[in-house]
Chain A
Amino acid sequence: MVKLTLRFVSCCRAADLRISTAEVLDCVSQLDLINPLDEEEFKLVLKSNFAKSRREQSRFEQMYHLFFHEMQRDLSRVTHDPESEQIRAVLDMLREEESDDRLGKALTDFLEGDPMGLVEEVHRIQTQEEQASRALRSNMSQLASRLQVMLKINRMKNKILSFQGGNHAVIDKDSSRKINDSLNEKLDNALALLNDEPRPDNYGLKEVKNYDKKYKQVGEVPFSSLSQEEIEEVRDVIWKLVKKLEEIATLRFSISNRGVIDIKKTLRRSGKYLGIPMEIIFKDRPLRKGKIVALCDVSGSVWSTARFMLNILYSLQECFSKIKSYIFVSDMAEVTDFFKNHDVNEAIEKIMNEAPLNYYVPTDYGMAFQHFKRKHMSELDKKTTLLIIGDARSNHMNPQDLILRDMRDRCKRVIWLNPEQEKFWGTGDSEMRAYKAHCHEVRPCGNLNQLIEFIEDLII
């Protein structure tokens, strides 16, 4: 039982479930307390020890099914069948022929009931990053690896068939077909493992769809089609909002000086006055000060939203401990300094003219994330809220959404604001569905009303 559990654990680890030794120990000791022959209980013990959040459960389910159902079932059938010897011969042949190829070996192991090699290989492919080549952009490297596996599987199927063909004198047609079917079924399972990547069940995802229609006229016009007068009007409204929010923030600050007396500090300060507490120190109530990291897509329609967003964020600088902002098309550039040194509106103009970014390439979210991961990942910590403003239209490039998962692991919240209406998400080249799985919150944000609601949610 322990051995089986350990094999299952290494298989899960190959699929990127983080399981520590302590958890394995716990699990094994708990298995003594239940009836391990009752599958429901057995699975529950494994699940509650190895998948420690709802997000990990879908991957756990996949591994559990693969390991305890597909693999084990086949094993038991093989050992009892009269054809088992024949299957052994086929496997030996495959092992010999594929001995110098990692993928081939992994697949042969899989046929023999040990999925670990293949799981590892599949995980490697799924997390593969695109090569950042400047001249030629493509999303081919992951596809190519996938194709390799598929071709390999086909080749193996052919080999099995021809091996059987050469052997037809020894066994009858019926059992030969049976053997073929069983091996092919397993290879199909291997293919399914490659193709069906379970998306984490993002149950905590906050999806905001309805919003208060506060401003009737100007509030409903998409940012991208505002006329000049309307832009002025929007600026006006934003300015009022900023003032209101600042007031709320300062109110919070002034309350912070009226808490409980901090005796420790008051006593220490009283030393100056011969032990008489002249200065009374209050315990500061912590302000809600978080750090914001904003990533803005600056291609066409998105930029019109992003600029208003940046405008608001920087007008409210006092409410956060730090704001860092980056813009991207396919590369990424930090624009925090522009806002530090200039007035907001001026900064936004300057960014468009001076930021070190190539605006004339197709948008590529995957590449931008990769760039962020390499250069700026250290900006994210558990007090950071990551805002991403973009339409997730990545021109059919590799979305590399697993990088977003890594980013999620490092920060407090990931909020995705999409200027497009919700019904267009996931259509055409939009990768919203892939990215949504890794966000804490997604909301459409294409007009003033939606923007106001979001900002109020963020600050208050």
Chain B
Amino acid sequence: MDFQSVQDVMERLEGVKYISSREISTVVFLAQATKKPILVEGPAGVGKTELAKSVAKCLGREMIRLQCYEGLDESKALYEWEYAKQLLYTQMVKEKIHDVVAQTATLKEAVDQIAEHEDAFFSERFIQTRPLLTAIRSEKPVVLLIDEVDKSDPEFEAFLLELLSDFQVTIPEIGTLKAKTHPFVFLTSNNYRDMSDALKRRCIHLYIDYPAMETEVHIVKMKLPGMDEKLLRKMVRMVARIRDLDLKKRPCISETLDWANSLVILQIEDLSPEIVSETLNTICKHKSDYEVVRKNILKVVKD
């Protein structure tokens, strides 16, 4: 069932364990109501992909995901002709082709005869659908996630335009295929490069930042209900301080969760500088980051 109001979005997302801000919920609600794609920006690990997954879950839709990378092209994203199958079929129906042309007198007539049956070989039967085509040909509405669209080439971005504005794609041999149902589209970007104005114009923009402390505490509490409240608050405060340090990669929410999880497993009750530096490798993923945090450990741990 579709979302009814902003409040409804918020509650249902929380129902599938995604804590969303008012901003996120409003944008999701508007996007659904106006059938527009959402372009989600934000640092790595703030839950951009997770948002799409959660929306799919609470709408009860299937999620189709397309991971973008350099060199991604139409044949991997949209469709490809199944040449092998076409060949196989041609071999098998060879006899039939003989029958078709048997009655004809001239070569021209024979070609015309075959041309009439051309459709048999360039039909949807021989198309192998890739994520994008699957999404718009689906009988039931789906959630389509185009992940890390900033990693793709400019050509691919241009090619997305038709899909995002009209929800249709053009295949030269067949014609234009229109969407049977409107997919709910999410595009995520880490800002590796700037997206073109044309693409941005077709989307609603949403920026997700690192969560406020209360929100992060809420998230951890929901995923790890067993954790001691005092320890949890102390830990989240520390993560926020670590994020302020000058790091190559700042810890994201999933790393906060990892850290919390390992603290629970190790049955740690209080965070002393020693324990922090021993368990630091769950949140620091570079050697130099690790050293920076170690150097500032007292600043991080202070109450």
Give chain A nearest CB distance to B290 CB in angstroms: 10
B30 interfacial by beta-carbon distance below 8 Å: yes
**Cβ–Cβ < 8 Å partners of B154 in chain A:** 382-383
**Which of A51, A204, A263 touches B205 (beta carbons < 8 Å)?**
A51
Q: How large is the interface on B (under 10, 10 to 19, 20 to 34, 35 or more residues)?
A: 35 or more
Closest 3 CB pairs of A and B: A204-B191, A263-B83, A210-B288
Q: For residue B287, which residue of chain A has the nearest CB?
A: A212
A45 interfacial by beta-carbon distance below 8 Å: yes
Q: A52-B205, A382-B193 are in contact. List 13 more A-B contacts (CB 8 A).
A: A20-B201, A23-B201, A26-B34, A41-B22, A44-B22, A45-B26, A48-B30, A52-B197, A52-B203, A203-B43, A209-B246, A210-B291, A263-B84
The answer to whether B30 and A45 have CB atoms under 8 Å apart is: yes
Contact with B along A204-245 (1 / 0, CB 8 A): 100011111000000000000000000000000000000000
Complex CA–CA separation, A45 to B33 (angstroms): 13
The answer to whether A53 and B201 have CB atoms under 8 Å apart is: no
**Cβ–Cβ < 8 Å partners of A166 in chain B:** none
Could you list which residues of chain A lie within 8 angstroms of chain B, going by C-beta atoms? 18, 20, 22-23, 26, 29-30, 33-34, 40-41, 44-45, 47-49, 51-55, 57, 203-204, 208-212, 263-264, 267, 285-286, 288, 382-383, 408-409, 412-413, 440
Q: For residue A288, which residue of chain B has the nearest CB?
A: B70
The answer to whether B41 and A54 have CB atoms under 8 Å apart is: yes
**Cβ–Cβ < 8 Å partners of B286 in chain A:** 210
**Cβ–Cβ < 8 Å partners of A267 in chain B:** 83
The answer to whether B84 and A204 have CB atoms under 8 Å apart is: no
The answer to whether A286 and B39 have CB atoms under 8 Å apart is: no
B23 interfacial by beta-carbon distance below 8 Å: yes
The answer to whether B248 and A210 have CB atoms under 8 Å apart is: yes
B137 interfacial by beta-carbon distance below 8 Å: no
**Cβ–Cβ < 8 Å partners of B29 in chain A:** 33
Q: For residue B190, which residue of chain A has the nearest CB?
A: A204
**CB within 8 Å for A286 and B70 given contacts A30-B34, A52-B205, A203-B43:** yes
The answer to whether B71 and A285 have CB atoms under 8 Å apart is: yes
Could you list which residues of chain B lie within 8 angstroms of chain A, going by C-beta atoms? 6, 22-23, 26-27, 29-30, 33-34, 36, 39, 41, 43, 70-71, 81, 83-84, 153-154, 190-197, 200-207, 246, 248, 286, 288-289, 291-292
The answer to whether B39 and A264 have CB atoms under 8 Å apart is: no
**Cβ–Cβ < 8 Å partners of A54 in chain B:** 41, 191, 207
The answer to whether B204 and A49 have CB atoms under 8 Å apart is: yes
**CB within 8 Å for A34 and B26 given contacts A53-B41, A286-B71:** yes
Complex CA–CA separation, A450 to B70 (angstroms): 26
The contact sample of 17 A-B pairs, CB cut-off 8 A, is: A20-B197, A33-B30, A33-B33, A33-B34, A34-B30, A44-B26, A45-B30, A52-B201, A52-B205, A53-B41, A53-B191, A53-B195, A55-B194, A212-B288, A286-B70, A382-B196, A440-B193
Complex CA–CA separation, A40 to B30 (angstroms): 14
Q: For residue A262, which residue of chain B has the nearest CB?
A: B83
Give chain A nearest CB distance to B35 CB in angstroms: 11
Complex CA–CA separation, A383 to B71 (angstroms): 12
**CB within 8 Å for A53 and B43 given contacts A204-B192, A267-B83:** no
